[in-house]
Each structure stands twice: as structure tokens, then as C-alpha cells.
Amino acid sequence: MARYTVFLYKPSDAPEVDPETLAAQLAEHDAYAREMLEEGVMIFGSPLEDHDATTSIRADSLVDGPFVEVNEVIVGFYVLEVPDLDAAVAIARRNPILHQGGGVEIRPMPGEDGPGTAEDAPA
Amino acid sequence: MSGPGARRPGTPGSGGSPRGAAAAARDAEVAAAVAAAHREHWGSVLAATAGLTRDLDLAEDCVQEAFVQALSAWREDGVPGSPGGWLATTARRRALDALRRGETLRRKLPLLVWDETAPSAETEGDAEAQRDAPAEGDAARPARIADEERAVVRDEQLRLIFLAAHPALAPEARVALTLRLVGGLTTAQIAAAFLVGETAMAARLTRAKKRIVLSRIPCRVPGAGEIDARLVDVLDVVSVLLATGERAGGEDVLDAAVRILEVLAALRPRHPEVQGLLAQALLLKARAATRHDARGRPVALALQDRGAWDRGLVQRADALVIEALAGGGRGPYLLQGAIAAAVAVPARHEDVDWEEVVALYDALLGHWPTAIVRLGRIVALGEARGAAAALAQLETLGAELDEHRPFHVIRAELLGRIGAHEQAAEALRTALERRGPEGESALLRELVRGV
């Protein structure tokens, strides 16, 4: 099995949506998260508070605000455990953010068969 | 990894020493057999070995060594009845040795994801491979490679084909990786085909293989729900191979493309897009000998010796196109195949139905409304309705295709046909300023002098 973090992005200048739309969008995310739990593919996941709520630390200072200014901001993430990239893509493709004006990014996490180990090589 | 040292075996290079003529002839025979086995079996031997090692670099090394060993072993013992089986068994034993010595532990990357749930009919009828393989003790479980038609072998080749064309890889990496893993071309050959430096190509291949293991891109044949989309990814890669083979005159590239399409055709018989692209590939192969003259200059279609075309291949391609069209196919690769067949099937250039070709291009534009497809349509239009009609449409592409040499060559040809020789000469000079193969440049220089 392999682990992936799926990052959810939205444009930083995305317009505010009205409360009903927002509630409907969040309900979609809840339903999607429940599906992933039932399928046993999600280890952990969470939305993130607003980009503005970020605290950044540098060697000599604490800064109110993001470390770097970007056009797309991370609004949440999931950690998946699945056999391979195809499985991760199949799950991430169903993410509701894809039709809510956002996108996702899939990053592999080093796993048990990570660098330097090859124990499960068939002999 | 397939560094610059990974030479393709079988190229003669050992002729210097004073040996008997019979021995020299025998060496040449063995070298030819190894070269043929390399073309035929590289992909399936590598696939079988990678299934064991779960490490592409290690598998490539073992397969490469097996081919090197074949050169000396076959000289001693004769060419085995099943070269593919011999090679697979030899590569397999080398891989097992390496795994036992723990060489993979020193490698820094995780293992290739090799989906074991995929259907695979296990071994039978390996007796021949077993008998032919050099027998030395234990571990060499007979490789299941003796027969290219067998389902298991095909399944393993398909895994590599789909892996190399995976949509998570960058498009240029897919093409290079396909030629390396499936076609067995060396890094140097691939670099030459794409007019890229060998170091850059080696880096591209290394990056792509690293990406496969770090992202856990699985080495498997896609399931029913996704296979059609993934098949198109493979066809897109093969289509680039055909264009490259055509441009660079790379016979190896063309052969690799044909072999991949044959495997896909066995997986999905009567798939119209596979049939269409296979037809296109076969027609390129059928015409390969006449597309350049003895000095490497391209020969215009109208002047090519149709009698020298491989009529067997042309007929096979034509039958594929007819069957696919009758089956209702109208996809872009089938339409391209139909265009190639419409041009190649008639016995004389004058007998080509250019209005039909124009109509096929119109249909193709529905899928791919690109300047290059429009340029092809304009060439057909020039044949069907005359150079003046074609020129009128050609001018609309000038801005978009100004850097594209064939645009200027076609323009010069059409201008020449309406008698505008000054303008034609100027278009040829512009064409010479654009990048293109050297043989073509030589021809263009002669034309500039001669117009």
C-alpha cells in the first residue's frame, strides 16, 4: 500500500459565495469524506481555516500571514492509503472541489518500501 | 540504467582478427540472430524480468547482460530454438542472482508496483525454453516467454506499454520511455531520433523512471472501466513515434511502433482507432524504401516508385481501414489511416481519388482543427482542384506555420505549378532557413539553384 496526500486548492481571489451555496458545497465535501471512510481509503483529512489565518515563522520573526503569496491557496487536505497512483487518482477525481472552481494535487508520501528497503522483493 | 554504454548487441564490430571465413560467417550469423532477437523479444524479456525484480534499472541491466551473453553462448552452442525463451531465462537467472546478493538493497528507490491481481494464466509449455536455456543448477525457474502469442507474455508486454504511456508522466517522457522499455532502443538512438543530446535524454529517462516509483505508478494492464481512455494515451505515444520515425527516417522507431500496435490489436481486436493507426504504421513501413533516394534526399510522393512498395503491407493496411470503417469507426487515427490508404492503394499516383482525400481531411478537422491538418488538406486540395485553389487557402496559415519548414516547401511547390517561379524560389530560400533534416536541406539547395 502507498500513502498520498491530496491537497485541495482554490484560487486566492475566488469570490465569496452566498451562505446557501457554501452550505451545499460543504455538504458535498462531508459526503465525499464519508464515502472515503467507508471505502477504507482515507487515513485523515481536514479543511483548513482561511489563508489569512496563517502564522509564518522565520528564523528571527513571527509573521501574521502566509509565508509566500500565491495565486492558489490550500483549503484542505486528505491522507489516502491505497495500492497505487491509479487508485489515488480515481478517488481524487471525485473530489467535489473539482466542480467548485478548485483543483487537487496528489503527492506521494514515502512509505514502508521507501528508499533503501526492498524486503518484499519476491525471491 | 541504460547509459551510453548500453550498446545494442548484434551490430558487427569484431571483424578484424585473422580468422577463417567460416568462423566469420558464423559470427555474422549469430550477430544477426541476436539483433533479430533484440527487435523481437526485448520488450517481453524486459517485462518478464521487471515482474521479478520490481526494479526497471536492474531489469534493464539483466536483460542487457543476457543479450551480451547470447553473443558468445550462441556462437559456442548454436542459436537456440526459442531465442526469446533463452534470453528470458538467462535474464531471469541474472536477476535472481542479483536479488540474492542483495544488490537491490543498495538502490535508493522503492519498488515498482506490480499489480498481482491482474489476470495471468500461469506457465505451461515451457519445456522448450527450459531445454534451451543454459542449465546451471537451482533458481532458474523457466521463463514463460517461449511464445509471443501466449496470453501471459502479451500481458507482461502490455503492462510496460501502458506504464510507459501513463498520463501522469510528461508527454515527452512517455515517448522516450516507450522506446527504451518497449522498443529496446538505446539512449543514444532515442536521443538521435528526437534531436536531443544524449545526456539530456538519459536524464529525461532517469527522471521518468524515478517518477514511476516515487509516485507508485502501477505496472498493470488497465481494467475495463479505464482501458479505452488509457488506450488512447498509448495511441498518442505511438503516433508521435510514427511522426518521429518518418521525420528522422528511424527504422527502429517505426518497427517499435508497429510491434506495440500489433500487441494492442491482439488485446483489442477490431478497435477502429488501433486498426487505423496500425494501418498508418504499416503504410509507412511499406513505403519506407522509396521515401528517400540513394543520397538520403526525400522523394516527392508523386515521384516515388510505387512498384517498390511492399504490396502485402499495403493490402493489409487497406483491409484494416475497410474493416474499421465498416465497423462504424470515425475517430481521428482511423481517418488518418484512411487518408494514408487512399493515397497508397492505387497502383499509379494519377489514380488517387484526391476529392476523397479532401473529404477525409474535412472529417479529421472535426477532431483536430489544427494548422497541420489544414496543411494536409490543402495539399490534397492542390491535387484535386489545382494549385491556385490550394494557394488561396494556404496563405491563411502563413502566420501560424511560418516556422514550419514543410509549409514553405509546399508553398514553393504550389507557386511553381502556377508559374510564379520568382516567388517559388523565395519560398524555397525561406524553407532553407527553417530547421529540417539534412537530406531535405540538400534537396532544397539543389532546387533553389535549379528553379
Q: What's residue B144's pLDDT?
A: 47
Q: Residue B243 domain-assigned?
A: no
Bigger pLDDT: B6 or B54? B54
What span, in angstroms and rounded, lies between the C-alpha atoms of B139 and B142? Answer: 9
C-beta neighbour count of A88 within 10 angstroms: 26
List of chain A residues whose C-beta atoms are within 8 Å of the C-beta of residue B226: 86
Q: What's residue B136's pLDDT?
A: 41
Contact yes or no for B7/B65 (Cβ under 8 A): no
Which residues partner with A9 through β-bridges? A74, A103
Distance of CA B128 to the CA centre of its chain: 30
Q: Residue B270 domain-assigned?
A: no
Q: Which residue of B has its CA nearest to A111?
A: B110
Across the interface, whether the CB atoms of B216 and A84 are under 8 A apart is answered: yes
Match 500513502 to its residue by C-alpha cell: A3
Q: Assign A122 to helix, strand or coil.
A: coil
Which residues partner with A44 through β-bridges? A79
pLDDT in tens, B3-19: 444 444 444 444 455 56
Contact yes or no for B232/B206 (Cβ under 8 A): no
DSSP state of A83: S
- Between B143-157, B215-229, B327-341, the lowest mean confidence (pLDDT) is in B143-157
Does residue B431 register a pLDDT over 80?
yes
What span, in angstroms and rounded, lies between the C-alpha atoms of B203 and B3? Answer: 10
Q: What's residue B106's pLDDT?
A: 57
Partner residue opposite A85 with nearest CB, options B109, B217, B226? B217
Contact yes or no for B406/B298 (Cβ under 8 A): no
Bigger pLDDT: B118 or B299? B299
Partner residue opposite B109 with nearest CB, options A83, A106, A115? A115
**C-alpha closest to that of B249 among B190, B292, B309:** B292
Q: What's residue A11's pLDDT?
A: 93
In three-state form (DSSP H/G/I as H, E/B as E, the rest C), the secondary structure along chain B is CCCCCCCCCCCCCCCCCCCCHHHHHHHHHHHHHHHHHHHHHHHHHHHHHHHHHCCHHHHHHHHHHHHHHHHHHHHHHCCCCCHHHHHHHHHHHHHHHHHHCCHHHHCCCCCCCECCCCCCCCCCCCHHHHHHCCCCCCCCCCCCCCCCCCHHHHHHHHHHHHHHCCCCCCHHHHHHHHHHHHCCCCHHHHHHHCCCCHHHHHHHHHHHHHHHHHCCCCECCCCCCCHHHHHHHHHHHHHHHHHHHHHHCCHHHHHHHHHHHHHHHHHCCCCHHHHHHHHHHHHHHHHHHHCECCCCCECCHHHCCHHHCCHHHHHHHHHHHHHHHHCCCCCHHHHHHHHHHHHHCCCCHHHCCHHHHHHHHHHHHHHCCCHHHHHHHHHHHHHHHCHHHHHHHHHHHHHHHCCCHHHHHHHHHHHHHCCCHHHHHHHHHHHHHCCCCHHHHHHHHHHHHHC
Partner residue opposite A121 with nearest CB, options B99, B108, B115? B99
- Average pLDDT on A103-118 reads 73
Contact yes or no for B161/B178 (Cβ under 8 A): yes
Instruction: Kindly indicate the confidence band of residue B382, based on its pLDDT and cuts at 50, 70 and 90.
Output: very high
Q: Residue B10 domain-assigned?
A: no
Contact yes or no for B246/B183 (Cβ under 8 A): no
C-beta neighbour count of B224 within 10 angstroms: 6
DSSP state of A22: H
Q: Residue B441 domain-assigned?
A: no
What span, in angstroms and rounded, lies between the C-alpha atoms of B233 and A7? Answer: 26
Tell me the nearest-neighbour CA distance from A99 into chain B, angstroms. 21
Match 531520433 to its residue by C-alpha cell: B193
- Average pLDDT on B240-254 reads 80
Bigger pLDDT: B340 or B436? B340
Compute the count of residue pairs across chains A and B with CB atoms less than 8 Å apart: 58
List of chain A residues whose C-beta atoms are within 8 Å of the C-beta of residue B110: 110-111, 113-115, 117
Contact yes or no for B189/B252 (Cβ under 8 A): yes
Across the interface, whether the CB atoms of B113 and A84 are under 8 A apart is answered: yes
C-beta neighbour count of B145 within 10 angstroms: 29
Q: Please name the CATH architecture into which domain A2-109 falls.
A: 2-Layer Sandwich (3.30)
- Which cell goes with A71? 495565486
Cα B322–B324–B329 angle (5° rounding)?
Answer: 125
Q: Assign A19 to helix, strand or coil.
A: helix
- Average pLDDT on B164-178 reads 95
Which residues partner with A82 through β-bridges? A2
Does residue B141 register a pLDDT over 80?
no
Instruction: Kindly indicate the confidence band of residue A112, based on its pLDDT and cuts at 50, 70 and 90.
Output: low
Contact yes or no for B114/B221 (Cβ under 8 A): no
Q: Are strands A55-58 and A2-11 parallel, antiparallel or unpaired?
A: unpaired
- Average pLDDT on B270-283 reads 97
Partner residue opposite A85 with nearest CB, options B52, B104, B168? B168
Contact yes or no for B234/B181 (Cβ under 8 A): no
Tell me the nearest-neighbour CA distance from A8 into chain B, angstroms. 18
What span, in angstroms and rounded, lies between the C-alpha atoms of B69 and B423? Answer: 60
- Which cell goes with B4? 551510453
Helix or strand (DSSP H, E) at A10 = strand A2-11
Please give the mean pLDDT across all residues of chain B: 86
Does residue B104 register a pLDDT over 80?
no
pLDDT in tens, A14-23: 888 899 999 9
Contact yes or no for B142/B123 (Cβ under 8 A): yes
- Average pLDDT on B246-264 reads 84
| B286-319 core/surface letters (b: 16 or more CB in 10 A; e: else) | bbbebebeeeebbeebeebebeebbeebbebbbe
Contact yes or no for B377/B362 (Cβ under 8 A): yes
What span, in angstroms and rounded, lies between the C-alpha atoms of B327 and B317? Answer: 15
Helix or strand (DSSP H, E) at A55 = strand A55-58
Q: What's residue B117's pLDDT?
A: 60
Helix or strand (DSSP H, E) at A20 = helix A19-39
What total number of domains does chain B contain?
A: 1
Q: What's residue B134's pLDDT?
A: 44
Q: Residue B274 domain-assigned?
A: no
Q: Where are the domains of chain A?
A: 2-109
What span, in angstroms and rounded, lies between the C-alpha atoms of B62 and B54? Answer: 12
Q: Assign A56 to helix, strand or coil.
A: strand
Parent domain of B164: 23-114+148-220
Q: What's residue A121's pLDDT?
A: 39
Does residue B133 register a pLDDT over 50?
no
Chain A interface disruption, residue of B216, B219, B226, most A CBs within 10 A: B216
Please return the burial class of A81, using the count of CB atoms within 10 Å of its CB with bins 0-12, 13-18 and 19+: middle
Q: Is A94 on the interface with B (CB under 8 A)?
A: no
